[in-house]
Structure 1
Amino acid sequence: KLPNEKEKKSKHSTTHTAFVKLSGPMYFNGIYHEFYQYNLNGPIFGDIVWGHSVSTDLVNWIGLEPALVRDTPSDIDGCWTGSVTILPGGKPIIIYTGGDIDQHQAQNIAFPKNRSDPYLREWIKAPNNPVLRPDEPGMNSIEFRDPTTGWIGPDGLWRMAVGGELNGYSAALLYKSEDFLNWTKVDHPLYSHNGSNMWECPDFFAVLPGNNAGLDLSAAIPQGAKHALKMSVDSVDKYMIGVYDLQRDAFVPDNVVDDRRLWLRIDYGTFYASKSFFDSNKNRRIIWGWSRETDSPSDDLEKGWAGLHTIPRTIWLAGDGKQLLQWPVEEIESLRTNEISHQGIELNKGDLFEIKEVDAFQADVEIDFELASIDDADPFDPSWLLDPEKHCGEAGASVPGGIGPFGLVILASDNMDEHTEVYFRVYKSQEKYMVLMCSDLRRSVIMLFALILISLLHKRLKTKLK
C-alpha cells in the first residue's frame, strides 16, 4: 500500500483486463507509473483505454482509475499505445494514438490535471487534439501509431518517432516540435525498411557499450554512445544497434540485414510491444514487455483476465557493442526466499533429479551444466537461425541428439502426464559451438509465465564449452 493510500479500493482496481500492451512507463516524483492498454468491459480486445498502476518498488502495484478514456472524436475508437515524456521543469506529458469513428489513426496529447497529486490520477486532453494526422502523400491512415518518448536534438527542438507505413515501406517516421504541442514531419524517416510489416511500438534510446547505466535521451549523449532502434513486428520485438547521425537526423545501423528474420530480438519467449524508460531514480533504463496468453477467449472470459506484463528488466549494451543485455531489476531480489542448493549431481542419459523443496509455480533457478564431452555435437545448420522456434518444435525434447537435450522439467504432475520442458542442445558450427535453448509446452496444461534467466544460463554453458 502506498503512503496515504486509502484502504478502499478503486472501483476499477478489480475489473477485467485485456490486451495489456504497455503505453507509457515512467518514474516521476518518487513513484513508478505503468500505463497500459486496458478494457474495462471484459478480457477481450476492444473498448481500449489507458489503464494506470503505480508503485514505489516495481514489485507491488496499485491499480488506479484509467488515465485516458475514449471520449473525444479523435480517440472514440480507442486510446491506443503511446509514451510519456517529462518536459523541462518536471512536466510529464502523454502522447498517444487515438482512432476516430472511421478507424483512422492520429496522435493526441494529454497533461496531468494536478501535478501535486503524487499518483497523477487525472489527465486533461489538449484542446488542439489531434496534434498529428497521417495526411501527407504516401501515408497509410490506418497504419500510423505508437509514438515514442520524445528527445531533444542539438538544435533545441523536440523529436519523436511514430510507427507508420510510408509508400509501402515500414518506417519510424520522424517529427520535430518547439513546444511538444505543434509537430512537423521531417522529410525523411528516422529509419525505414521495405521488407517488413508495419512497425508497432517503436522505441529509440541511447546506450553505452559495456555500461549498464541508463542514458536520458534528452540529456547530452556521451561520446562513444550508440543507439538502439526497437520495433514490434512479426509478433516479436526486434532491434538494431547503430548510431544516430545528428547531421542527417537519421538512425544508421551498424549492420544492415535485409532479411528481418535475422534481426536481433529482445526476447525469444512470449514478449511483445515492449516499452522502455530512463529511471532517474537509479540511473538505469528499464524495459517491460507484454506476454500474451494462448488461452481461448472463452477461457479468458471465465477467469476474468487476459494478458500479463513481464518482470521489469534493466537493459544495456554489451561491451562489444553488438547486442543488448538485460536482467531483472534489483528490486526483484526482495521476492527471493528459502534458497535451496544442490551441487555435484551426476546425471546420465534418461536420469531425472527432483527438487522437492520449492514451489514450482514461482521459482528462480540458476543452474550450471558441465558436460563430460562435446565431441559428439551435431553440425549446426545456419538456416535454423531463420526460425529457431520451428527448429525447437522439430527437434523436440523427446528427440535425441548428439549433445542434448538436457535441462529442466517444471510444473510436472506426479505421474508426469503434465509437464513443461526447458532444455538445451549443443551444435558445432565451424570453429565454435552453438547453444540452442527451447521450451516444450505440448504436455503442459497450465499457462506458463516464468522468467528463465537465459543470459546467465547461456553464458555459463558457453564458458563450460570453451
Structure 2
Amino acid sequence: MVYKGIYHLFYQYNPKAAVPGNIVWAHSISKDLINWTPHPPAISRDTPYDINGCWSGSATLLPNGEPVIVYTGVNTENQQVQNLAMPKNPSDPNLVEWIKPPYNPVMAPTQQNMINASSFRDPTTAWLGRDGLWRLIVGNKIGQNGRMLMFMSRDFVHWSQSKQPLYSRRGTGMWECPDFYPVSTGGEDGVETSVAGRGVKHVLKASMNDAFFDTYAIGTYDLGKDVFVPERGSLRLDSEMRYDHGKFYASKTFFDSSMKRRVLWGWINESTNAAIDISKGWSSLQAIPRKIWLHKSGKQLVQWPVKEIEKLREGKVISPTKELKGGSVLEISGVTASQADVEISFEISTMEKVEEIDPSLTDDPQAICSYGASKGGVGPFGLLVLASKDLQEYTAVYFRVFRAKSRHVVLMCSDQSRSSLNLDYDKPAYGAFVDVDLVKEKLSIRTLIDRSIVESFGGDGKACITARVYPSIAIDGGAHLFAFNNGTDDVKISNLAAWSMKAAQIN
C-alpha cells in the first residue's frame, strides 16, 4: 500500500531459516518501489489465534485514511482464522509498530458455516459497497471445489458470511491468495478498489494450489446478487489466462493512488531443493513490481515493469536496424550482461516457411517450448541471456510462428534447459501463446536480467514469463548477451536497446 507518500510492502518471512516455517509479516518501506528499507516485523506469532503462523492477507485504507490489515492466523488448534492488525501510531508515516485488537479473530470456521478449517485463508483488500457495507473474500475449498467466500461488515469489526460465495468452481482445488479488483475499460489508469458499475470490468484472481500458478478471469461484478460473472477465463486448473507463465505465485495487487495505477507484486520461488536453499542461506524473492491494466481489446490483462525501474539504467547501447540471418547469433556487447534491461523488436519479411502446428499441442504451449530452441521455419528467434561466451550455458527467450488452420499463432518461450552445467535443480521450459497481429504489430521482448532471475515481457506485456536460473559459467564477467535466429527465414531487428542496471537497495 501507499500511505502518506511512502510505499509499504508486507511479506511472508521466516526470520529463523531460509525455508518456510515460523512465518511472520516482514515489513519494508520505499519511496520509489525499487529501493527498500527494512523495519521490524509488523505482525508476529504471539497470540493464541496466530501462534502457529501469521499467514497471508491484505491491507485496506479506511475512509479516514488509516490502514487496517486483515490476515490469516493459525491458532492453537491449527485452525485458520482471520484477524485484524492496526498501526499503533497512525501519524507515523513509517508505520513501524502494529497492534492486534483484543476481539480477534474476527472470522472463524464453525460447524454452522461449514468452512474447512484447514483451507480458509488469505483475505483480500476490502471494498465498500453502495449499501455502506464492507466486503472482502477469503480463499477456501470444500472437497475439491474452490470457493471465494465473501464476508460483510458495517464497522470492520463484526463480520458475517454472505449466503453464497462471490464465485466457486468444481474440481479446482484450493484457491489461495485471492484478489478481486476493478479495471478501467477506457485506458491504462488504475481504479480504486471500491469502484463498480459503468466504465469498469472486474478481475478475479486465484493462486491455484493444486497446479502452482496464478490465473485470472475478467468479468462483471453483479451488484444485485453480489456475485462475479466471468466473461473471459474461469479459474480452471488448465487455464491459460495467467499473470505469468513461469515462476510467479501468491501475487497481490494494490491501487497506487499517488500514480493512479494498479501495481502487481508476485513471489518468485526457487528451482533448487530445500537442502540447497539452506546451504546458500536464502530462498525466494519478489518480482519487480508491475503496472497492470486491461488491454483495449478487453480480452486480457497487460503488465509492464513499473517506470521507476528505469532509474537503475546506465550505459545505454543501441543498435541500428539489421537483418538477422537464419542460423546466426549476434552478441550484444557494451552492457553488464549479468544485470541488464533489454528491449528488442523483430519484423518478419515472409511467411513462406511457417510450420504447421501439431494439432495435439494447440492448447499446450509449454509442451512445444520443451522441444527447445532448435531449428525451425519462422523462428525461433529472440535472446540468449546469462550466456557463456562459448554458449555452453544460456537461457533462451524467443518467439516462434506457426500456422494453425487459417491463421498464424505466435508462441513465446523461456527455455532453461541449457541454463547451467549444474544438474541439481529444475530447468524447465515455459511457454505462452501471444495475441499479436503480425500484419500490424512487431514482435517485441523486454527482458530484465538479474543474475538468477529472468523476467520477460512479450508483445508489449501481453505475455510474461519469469525464470529462475543458476549459471555456473555465465556469472559476473563471464555472462554474455546475444540475439539469435535459429529459423530458416531471416528476420529483421527493427529496434534494440540495452542498459546495464545498477544495484537497488534491498534490505
Fold shared, TM-score > 0.5 on shorter chain:
yes
**1:166 equivalenced with 2:170 (yes/no):** no
Alignment of 1:406-445 (within 5 A): 406-445=381-420
**1:102 equivalenced with 2:113 (yes/no):** no
Q: 3-state DSSP class of the match of 1:262?
A: coil
The equivalent position to 1:324 in structure 2, one of 297, 301, 313, is: 301
The equivalent position to 1:157 in structure 2, one of 133, 141, 144, is: 133
Report deviation, 1:277. Answer: 0.5
Q: 3-state DSSP class of the match of 2:119?
A: strand
Q: Say which structure is richer in strand.
A: 2
Paired position in structure 1 for 2:40: 65
Q: Given that residues 55 and 62 in structure 1 are in contact (C-alpha distance below 8 angstroms), is that contact kept between their aligned partners in structure 2? A: yes
Q: 3-state DSSP class of the match of 1:301?
A: helix
**1:130 equivalenced with 2:130 (yes/no):** no
Mean CA deviation greater in 102-111 or 140-149: 102-111
Give a deviation string over 1:20-43, Cα, whole Å, max 9, x none.
xxxxxx000010000000000010
Q: Given that residues 64 and 121 in structure 1 are in contact (C-alpha distance below 8 angstroms), is that contact kept between their aligned partners in structure 2? A: yes
**1:75 equivalenced with 2:50 (yes/no):** yes
Paired position in structure 2 for 1:351: 328
One-letter amino acid of the counterpart of residue 279, structure 1 = D
Alignment of 1:255-274 (within 5 A): 255=232, 257=234, 259-274=236-251
Q: 3-state DSSP class of the match of 1:276?
A: strand
Alignment of 1:229-240 (within 5 A): 229-233=204-208, 234-240=211-217
Q: Distance in 1 between matches of 2:105 and 2:200?
A: 34
Give a deviation string over 1:285-325, Cα, whole Å, max 9, x none.
11110011112323222322110101111111111212111
Q: Distance in 2 between matches of 1:57 and 1:66?
A: 21
Higher relative contact order (CA 8 A, sep 6+): 2
| Structure 2 length-normalised TM | 0.82
Paired position in structure 2 for 1:177: 153
Q: Distance in 1 between matches of 2:71 and 2:338?
A: 36
Alignment of 1:308-323 (within 5 A): 308-323=285-300
Find runs of 4+ consecutive structure 1 residues off by over 6 angstroms: none
Q: Distance in 2 between matches of 1:193 and 1:211?
A: 31
Paired position in structure 2 for 1:6: none
Report deviation, 1:404. Answer: 1.8
One-letter amino acid of the counterpart of residue 176, structure 2 = E
**1:252 equivalenced with 2:239 (yes/no):** no
Q: 3-state DSSP class of the match of 1:141?
A: coil
Alignment of 1:44-59 (within 5 A): 44-59=19-34
Gaps of 5+ in 2: 423-450, 464-490, 495-507
Give a deviation string over 1:402-424, Cα, whole Å, max 9, x none.
32222111111122222111122
Paired position in structure 2 for 1:448: 452
Report deviation, 1:336. Answer: 1.6
Q: Given that residues 74 and 81 in structure 2 are in contact (C-alpha distance below 8 angstroms), is that contact kept between their aligned partners in structure 1? A: yes
Paired position in structure 2 for 1:289: 266
Alignment of 1:6-21 (within 5 A): none
Q: 3-state DSSP class of the match of 2:50?
A: coil
One-letter amino acid of the counterpart of residue 297, structure 2 = D
Q: 3-state DSSP class of the match of 2:324?
A: coil
Report deviation, 1:381. Answer: 4.3
Report deviation, 1:355. Answer: 1.2
Paired position in structure 2 for 1:193: 169
One-letter amino acid of the counterpart of residue 28, structure 1 = Y
Paired position in structure 2 for 1:368: 345
Report deviation, 1:140. Answer: 1.1
Report deviation, 1:281. Answer: 0.6
Change (3 A) 1:66 1:434: same
Report percent identity of matched pairs: 48
Paired position in structure 2 for 1:117: 92
RMSD: 2.1
One-letter amino acid of the counterpart of residue 183, structure 1 = W
Q: Given that residues 366 and 453 in structure 1 are in contact (C-alpha distance below 8 angstroms), is that contact kept between their aligned partners in structure 2? A: no
Mean CA deviation greater in 358-367 or 176-185: 358-367
Paired position in structure 2 for 1:15: none
Q: Distance in 2 between matches of 1:344 and 1:408?
A: 16
Report deviation, 1:208. Answer: 1.2
Mean CA deviation greater in 294-303 or 252-261: 252-261
> Between Structure 1 and Structure 2, how many residues are aligned?
435
Mean CA deviation greater in 290-299 or 80-89: 290-299
Report deviation, 1:360. Answer: 1.0
